[in-house]
Amino acid sequence: MNTDLGNYRKSYEKQELLEQNLSDNPLEVFQKWFHEVDANFNIGETNAMTLSTIGIDGFPKSRVVLLKKFTYEGFIFYSNYESEKGKAIANNQNVCLSFFWPEAERQIIIKGKAEKIADNLSDGYFESRPRGSQLGALVSNQSETIKDRTTLENDLKSLEEQYEGKPIPRPKFWGGYIVKPVEIEFWQGRPNRLHDRIRYQLDEDFNWIQDRLSP
């Protein structure tokens, strides 16, 4: 196999990222960018983000998860605590989130520390999910080897019968994480690969320090 992608090129010319237009707080910049992209570009899941962790085997691993809430404190997503990503976070809280919105020629890279949110917050979100998603969380031993698809579907059917007409409790192995950022970088594509890169870093006094990075 020999596939040359050297001629894949695109000129980024839609927008610019200038310091005088930015807030001192990167969470406010994130909110502005997110709502602009969500409102003005045809993106299926604006909240899709890549989560990178350091596995217990020492290798980094990335996968796409869905952002479910963001606040001044950080970014919240939900997962199985006993999954591969859950075990990685338990072993090493340092994670990276990244959003890439090609239609807007924008990217955001977030370094932070992940920790579990309070049980009552996970309970509240779990109760808001469709029953199918609730059962899916309950039936899946995420990241574990299974015999075949039929086994999974049979287990789901058994749970559907067990909980017919009844509320479905949140399993204790499933819940939310919040990623509290220590660094956020905003990337805006520009012509001739002279992209705008603005980085915010949290200092010892919990102030955000802003820098421009060379593309």
Q: Catalytic residues, which ones?
A: 193
- The residue among 27, 35, 41 whose CA lies nearest residue 186 is 27
Q: With contact defined as beta carbons under 8 Å apart, do 144 and 165 qualify? A: no
The count of residues in the chain is 215
- The residue among 61, 149, 68, 162 whose CA lies nearest residue 140 is 149
- DSSP summary character for residue 44: S
- The rounded radius of gyration (Å) of the Cα atoms in the chain is 20
- DSSP summary character for residue 167: P
Half-sphere exposure of 95 (CA within 13 A, CB side): 32
Looking at the DSSP bridge assignments, the partners of residue 64 are 50
Q: With contact defined as beta carbons under 8 Å apart, do 189 and 177 qualify? A: no
What is the separation, in whole angstroms, between the first and last Cα of the chain? 32
- The residue among 88, 81, 77, 106 whose CA lies nearest residue 16 is 106
